A and B are shown apart, each in its own frame.
Chain A
Amino acid sequence: MRARVFVRLKRGILDPQGTAVKRALEGLGYREVQDLRVGRVLEMELDATQPDQARGRLEEMCRRLLANPVTEEFTVEIVEDGGRPRLA
């Protein structure tokens, strides 16, 4: 099965990268952007069959390595074979 992990900065944490991108967009004339924050997506192919079990392991991966729990939050999405992505 496939999985997608979204990692983003917690609300209130300063995001210099997001600020820089917003400023660059403004420079190109996109003045409607009021706020912009940058996160990251990890796409994975898993050798697993039980979605609940897989989700548990993915969350563990996030806590231990993929996200920094002090500054970041994460969501895990499982893409079951042939199915639509399901938000954890």
Chain B
Amino acid sequence: MTAADPKVTLDLALAHGLTAEEYDRIIQLLGREPTYTELGLFSALWSEHCAYKHSKVFLRLLPTKAPHVLQGPGENAGIVDLGDGWALVLKMESHNHPSFIEPFQGAATGVGGILRDIFTMGARPIATLDSLRFGDPEDPKTRYLIGGVVSGISWYGNCFGVPNVGGEVAFAPEYQGNPLVNVMCVGLVRRDRIFRARAEGVGNPVFYVGAKTGRDGIHGATMASAVFEEGAEERRPTVQVGDPFTEKMLLEACLEAMAGGAVVGIQDMGAAGLACCSSEMPSRAGTGMEVELSRVPRRETGMTPYEIMLSESQERMLLVVAQGREEEVRTIFAKWELDAVEIGRVTGDGLLRVRMDGQLVAEVAVRALTEEAPVYEKPTARPGWLAALHAFDPLSLPEPADYEAALLRLLAAPTIASKQWVYRQYDQQVGINTLVLPGSDAGVLRIKGTSKAIAVTTDSNARHVFLDPYQGAALAVAEAARNLACSGARPLAVTDCLNFGSPERPEILWQFAEAIRGISEACRALEIPVVSGNVSFYNETEGEAILPTPVIGMAGLLEDAGWRTTQWFKSAGDRIALIGPDAVSLGGSEYLAILDRRLAGRPAPLDLRVERDVQAACRAAIEAGLVSSAHDAAEGGLAVALAEACISGPEAVGAEVELPSLGRHDLTLFGEGPSRIVVSVPPRAQRHFESLMGECQVPWRFIGTVGDERLTLKVGGSVLVSLSLDQIAHAWRTGFDRYVG
């Protein structure tokens, strides 16, 4: 409706990523053609990112309820009760595409976004974790991406002042053209001080707070070519740039305004910026909203209503303020040197009304943008490629001639090798709550003023998901929970980040549907609700999709912070025990990927009942003070888990281990299977440990003793591996560093 706006046509709608049917539906909902600004609103709010239109029907399967859940999916983040009046806020999100275009700023603004998701709920962020996937590190482009992403994460988090306490980095050729950058954040809030993204109270003023708006990150697909013609270069949308110091001030200002009671509702202006906030907030509350865009603080001239509504400039929030408390909010934000401008108010008519200099540029029912967004149930199809992959028998390959060389190669594989180069760039202790630093199965943080601690981890084994999405995704849940169990924690909640290719391809949507089924099944069996999450589709380049990668973020509680346990062996003389079943496979294993460059076969089956019992047994042993260390056996199998337990701690210590043969020696040493935990038991606790395992009715056995300067692995009486600690430590410490150091 402004003079410069292009005429809205079907072609323009198609160029915005909408389908012809969706465009018809918009006309039907409005009873007329949309204005250019309205078209922008619909294209953003009806995008996959905001509307979850391809994933919603599947996501409904996830278990989201439990007595301790204070906030499930649908808000900026999920919340669970910790007791003592405290609650934990958690959320994970992807920033894959921006990180590929500009790795440093893409990853940095990913951290910024997830921090805001946590503090909009009224919480103070206490830790972040990051789950990263890259292509082959031999490729210079991959090394460039790793360098940029890691320094972007560390820059933003370190400047803001939040510790990074864990995560994972894995490599596979399928991520070459599409790396994954998933960031998780947890925060603490008093359970009676939780805020939500709801525009309650007709007549309440709406405040824009934080940084100024520029043409940052206005989605490429939503920028029609017509817009570019006249303004040329300076109208082009730009890469979002983060400003962590402004974010820190925004955090303090928001928490201060919330503490005083002036804030009614609050939402982060993240994806789709003001468009998203001004429709989702009233939609949740059953209200409407009107905004005057000429009042929005801008740092560029000539911005159109379309651009202001869709800008993704960072470090901004939309607040609904209690009427009469406006001055208080202005004063607080002025103290923190931030803009706080009243740009509109909450209305009772269910409409979003957008004006620019008094002129109406959009008038849409908020429900049309949110609740009435299309939901699809697109066809799924089991991929034809699976049959041939499953038919491959890893045991058809010859046994390795030299088991010591094979173990050293696995320890030096970039996915397994030490990631110290990555996490030493992160501040791990700011806030002085970190009890277990990165490098163990999970990060552990104290809750000040209580005797409790929380443990956090992220997990996904995409190779297993590729070969069997149902079981692979269930395994990711099981492994995350196992990591928490090894740290001494009881799992409380899941936040997931589901990275897949295009849902418009039936094979990809099948992977997605199966993965959701797997997560649901595992979460039900282990009684862990999913409280928040994120779906990232369209992770493909030139028709090649990434490995399906559902990343599971999980948080757990230690009633006594003293229970915290790390993965490395502590003292010579401790007995080493393996808790868990013998079912392992080389199908989809790291061994097969490294030694034969092959992704095929069938992973070992997961029995969720056994998984639950093994985790309970491990936790019971920890709580009774019977173990010195606990480490989950995952990628690389038992041999790698034992080697890591020897060398990943502050002081290396050897071990002598005798394993029963599971058939072939490569299967025994490197076979991967779920529900397996390596613990070390001090001699004084041995009897007690034996009887506890008996009570828990889990498969277990002693397999060796901690001590000496070597790792010795025997199978069926013969020594397969006898390596000095220096040899294994060198392989493990340099395997990843040699690419980036």
Contacts and interface: CB of A to CB of B under 8 A. Distances in A.
A11 B234 contact: yes
Interface in B217-268: 233-234, 236, 238-243, 245-246
Given A12-B238, A23-B337, A71 B233 contact: no
Contacts of A70: 101-102, 239
Contact of A14 (B101, B236, B313, B337): B313
Contacts of B313: 14
Contacts of B105: 71
A16 B233 contact: no
Given A10-B238, A70-B239, A16 B245 contact: yes
A68 interface: yes
A12 B241 CA distance: 10
A14 B243 CA distance: 9
Contacts of B314: 14
A45 B13 CA distance: 54
Given A23-B337, A70-B102, A12 B246 contact: no
A14 B236 CA distance: 14
Given A68-B102, A71-B105, A14 B214 contact: yes
B215 A12 contact: yes
Interface in A1-57: 10-16, 19-20, 23
A16 B238 contact: no
Nearest to B246: A16
Nearest to A17: B243
A71 B337 CA distance: 26
B300 interface: yes
Contacts of A68: 102
A70 B337 CA distance: 29
A21 to B, nearest CB: 13
Given A23-B337, A70-B239, A71-B241, A12 B300 contact: yes
Contact of B233 (A11, A14, A23): A11
Max chain B Cβ within 10 angstroms of own Cβ: one of A13, A14, A68, A71: A14
A19 B242 CA distance: 13
A49 B437 CA distance: 55
Contact of B234 (A12, A23, A71): A12
Contacts of B684: none
Interface string B192-216: 0000000000000000000100111
Contacts, number: 40
Contacts of A20: 245
Contacts of B243: 14, 16, 19
B245 A71 contact: no
Contacts of A19: 243
A88 B590 CA distance: 53
Interface string B89-118: 000000000000110010000000000000
Contacts of B211: 14
Nearest to A71: B239
B179 to A, nearest CB: 15
Contacts of B102: 68, 70-71
A14 B241 CA distance: 6
Nearest to B243: A16
Max chain B Cβ within 10 angstroms of own Cβ: one of A16, A20, A71: A16
A11 B216 CA distance: 11
A45 B371 CA distance: 63
Contacts of A10: 238
Nearest to A70: B102
B299 interface: yes
Contact of A13 (B101, B233, B238, B246): B238
Nearest to B148: A68
Interface in A41-88: 68, 70-71
A15 to B, nearest CB: 8
Interface string B320-354: 00000000000000000100000000000000000
A36 B242 CA distance: 18
B317 to A, nearest CB: 17
A39 to B, nearest CB: 14
A88 B233 CA distance: 20
A5 to B, nearest CB: 20
A16 B241 contact: yes
A14 B234 contact: no
Contacts of B239: 13, 70-71
Nearest to B244: A16
Nearest to A20: B245
A15 B242 CA distance: 9
Contacts of A12: 214-216, 234, 236, 238, 300
A71 B108 CA distance: 14
Nearest to A19: B243
Contacts of B234: 11-12
A71 B101 CA distance: 10
Nearest to A69: B102
A45 to B, nearest CB: 28
Contacts of B299: 14
A88 B314 CA distance: 35
Given A70-B101, A71-B102, A71-B105, A13 B241 contact: yes
Max chain B Cβ within 10 angstroms of own Cβ: one of A10, A13, A23: A13
A12 B217 CA distance: 11
A23 B211 CA distance: 14
A15 B239 CA distance: 12
Nearest to B236: A12
Interface in B127-175: none
A19 B234 CA distance: 20
A11 B232 CA distance: 12
Contacts of B240: 14
Nearest to A23: B337
Nearest to A10: B238
Interface in B499-538: none
A10 B236 CA distance: 11
Nearest to A12: B238
Contacts of A11: 233-234
Nearest to B240: A14
B299 to A, nearest CB: 7
Contacts of B233: 11
A13 B233 CA distance: 12
B356 to A, nearest CB: 20
A13 B242 CA distance: 10
A10 B101 CA distance: 16
Contacts of B238: 10, 12-13, 71
A26 to B, nearest CB: 11
Contacts of A16: 241-243, 245-246
Interface of B: 101-102, 105, 211, 214-216, 233-234, 236, 238-243, 245-246, 299-300, 313-314, 337
Given A16-B241, A16-B246, A71-B105, 14 more contacts: A10-B238, A11-B233, A12-B236, A12-B238, A14-B313, A14-B314, A16-B243, A16-B245, A20-B245, A68-B102, A70-B239, A71-B102, A71-B238, A71-B241
20 contacts: A11-B233, A11-B234, A12-B236, A12-B300, A14-B241, A14-B243, A14-B299, A14-B313, A16-B242, A16-B243, A16-B245, A19-B243, A20-B245, A23-B337, A68-B102, A70-B101, A71-B102, A71-B105, A71-B238, A71-B241
Which 6 residue pairs across A and B have the least CB separation, nearest first?
A16-B243, A14-B241, A70-B102, A12-B238, A13-B238, A11-B234
Interface of A: 10-16, 19-20, 23, 68, 70-71
